[in-house]
């Protein structure tokens, strides 16, 4: 079974992002859970991770979007809230 480099890089990136996203979600759940019920904290944390993954995917796959302000603003806002 032979894989091309592009498939391997995409798979490694996905595994890395899922691992980091899982840890980030766990931390965000505990943070958002301070002021909300546990289920709302979980929903907020998962929503932030999905939003950040969507913006990152958009920036990485669309060269025209890299020059726009809005994707970078969303990435910065989502990252700052999680920090």
Burial of 74 (0-12, 13-18, 19+ CB in 10 A): middle
pLDDT confidence bin for 1, thresholds 50/70/90 = low
Q: pTM of whole model > 0.85?
A: no
- Asked whether the beta carbons of 60 and 10 are under 8 A apart, the reply is no
Average pLDDT, the chain: 85
What are 33-73's pLDDT values in tens digits?
888 898 998 998 888 888 888 888 888 888 887 888 888 89
Q: 64 by DSSP, 3-state: which? A: coil
* Residue 78 DSSP one-character state: H
């Amino acid at each position: 079974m032979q894989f091309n480099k592009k498939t391997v890089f995409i798979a490694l990136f996905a595994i890395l992002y899922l691992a980091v996203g899982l840890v980030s979600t766990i931390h965000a759940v505990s943070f958002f859970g301070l002021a909300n019920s546990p289920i709302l904290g979980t929903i907020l944390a998962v929503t932030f991770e999905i939003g950040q993954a969507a913006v990152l995917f958009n920036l990485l796959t669309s060269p025209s979007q890299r020059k726009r302000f809005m994707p970078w603003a969303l990435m910065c806002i989502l990252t700052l809230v999680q920090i």
